[in-house]
Amino acid sequence: MKLLYRGPARQELHEGYAKRRRIDQDAPVVSASELRIEAPVERVWQLIADPTGWPQVLPGRRVLELDAGVAEDADFVWAMGRTVMRARFAVVDVNRELTWSAVAMGVRAIDRQVLTPTPDGATVLRIEESMAAPLIGLLFSADRLRGQHEDWLRAVKAAAEQQD
């Protein structure tokens, strides 16, 4: 029953899902969105792979700890509003994918950002995320998560396209 589904343990979530470039499709809250950005993939990558710069892209996101930088298996702590997330980078594939697993208030999540260059020099940025915890579906909907993703995508698009 998805209502009580808590998802895999944090280590399995990281190793068995995030590092294998997949989210937890069984999670009660799953969302995916994508947006075409009229900027080269390298520019989009610079924005998403610089957590300390996230607040300039979209206010309300901030990094609290990033000791080892953006590297596979490096831990970091970031916040979106008042929600603090303890995260670990799983995939750092330059200009292609940035994926991490995270835990916040008992919620186990995977966030994937996948970049696809287009033949005409633009980039398609896709976000996929899963969130699992007992009763999470009653407190946080896939539509709300999709809205957060779309806000981020629009902000990255504006920042990347503004640099021209």
**pLDDT at residue 1, as a whole number:** 59
With a cut of 70, say whether residue 8 has pLDDT above it: yes
Task: Give the total number of structural domains in the chain.
Answer: 1
**Helix/strand/coil for 153:** helix
What is the pTM assigned to this prediction? 0.95
Q: What's residue 29's pLDDT?
A: 97
Tell me what pLDDT residue 142 has: 95
Residue 2 binned pLDDT confidence (cut-offs 50, 70, 90): confident
pLDDT exceeding 90 applies to what percent of the chain?
A: 93
State the distance between the two ends of the chain, measured CA to CA, in whole angstroms.
49
Kindly tell me the burial class for residue 47, based on how many C-beta atoms sit within 10 Å of its own C-beta (0-12, 13-18, 19 or more): buried
Residue 122 CA to residue 126 CA, distance in Å, equals 13
Task: For 57-104, write each residue's pLDDT tens digit.
Answer: 999 999 999 989 999 999 999 999 899 999 999 999 999 999 999 999
Segments forming the whole domain that contains residue 19 = 2-162
Q: What pLDDT sits at residue 68? A: 92
Q: What pLDDT does residue 163 have?
A: 72
d(C-alpha 89, C-alpha 19), whole Å = 9
CATH number of the domain bearing residue 32 = 3.30.530.20
Confidence (pLDDT) at 61: 92
Cα 31 to chain centroid, rounded: 11
